[in-house]
Structure 1
């Protein structure tokens, strides 16, 4: 099972920017890294309303777009928790970096907003964030 690391923070706090930096560093270190973004309001569509995949996903449980160098998968996930999804989709990765899930507890959490619980990345440098990711003990 990959190690899960949650990046939490309010809108425009720098979550994605930090995840890009952490992803690059971990990849340079030889680790396999995956990413999942939380979209609780369902705004993150990559195709537009009325497209083929949009129309077919309204009636089918799984739809994909296969391009020359990319596979985009739309899949309904009723009742699956994050661990099951990670195990099913990313079993061979070392780390899965998750953006969002402000209320998710019990995991390594890197906070980019002082009001939210987690390792205070807003006052740390990249090396300290990487060190925290590899640290043992309390998530």
Structure 2
């Protein structure tokens, strides 16, 4: 499986870019999975639901299944968070895995950047960032795309991974 990342500071447009890239790339006939890192506690389950109660009772893993989707929740308890590579290994095979976050890992990435946030560019000090998608013109040593030009960003990523 090919992998490519989207990174950036909070409110830089990462999730919107990810969403548009998934739609664009799957629209071209490729299969795509995504993996997102959250820095805060996250719970996909709902208090009071049976699956939540199973986890609260001490289950290590809970699978919730229906006719439209299934999800497996694994409680880390005191275990270490899995690495990006370990998580990717758990995915079913697809053409491309788009990763949101994990900016310190060594895979190739595009940085989402909005000038209004006032944040510096991560790309200036990170050679794994191969391009920047921004809402403002930038003078960099790598490609800069308009943040809203999803097709151009998708073209770049697909060329980078050889798809």
TM-score interval for Structure 1 and Structure 2 normalised by the shorter chain = 0.7 to 0.9
Deviations 1:47-98 (A, max 9, x none): 22343222322412210211231112102465532223212222x2011111
Task: Look up the SS of the partner of 1:97 in the other structure.
Answer: strand
Q: How does 1:6-17 map to 2 (within 5 A)?
A: 6-17=5-16
Q: How many residue pairs end up in the alignment? A: 133
1-side partners of 2:108 and 2:156: how far apart? 9
> 1:39 is matched with which residue?
38
- 5+ unaligned residues in a row in structure 1: which ranges? none
> 2:85 is matched with which residue?
83
Query: Among 104, 120, 125, which residue is 2:132 paired with?
Result: 120
Cα RMSD, aligned residues only: 2.2
TM-score normalised per structure 2:
0.70
Task: Look up the SS of the partner of 1:107 in the other structure.
Answer: coil
> 2:2 is matched with which residue?
3
1-side partners of 2:72 and 2:64: how far apart? 7
Q: Is the 8 A contact 2:24 2:151 kept in 1?
A: no
> 1:95 is matched with which residue?
96
> 1:132 is matched with which residue?
156
Displacement of 1:33 after TM fit? Answer: 0.3
Query: Among 51, 59, 77, which residue is 1:53 paired with?
Result: 51
Between stretches 108-117 and 47-56, larger displacement belongs to 47-56
Report the structure number with the largest CA radius of gyration: 2
Q: Is the 8 A contact 1:53 1:63 kept in 2?
A: yes
Task: Look up the SS of the partner of 2:4 in the other structure.
Answer: strand
1-side partners of 2:95 and 2:133: how far apart? 21
- 5+ unaligned residues in a row in structure 2: which ranges? 114-119, 124-128, 135-143
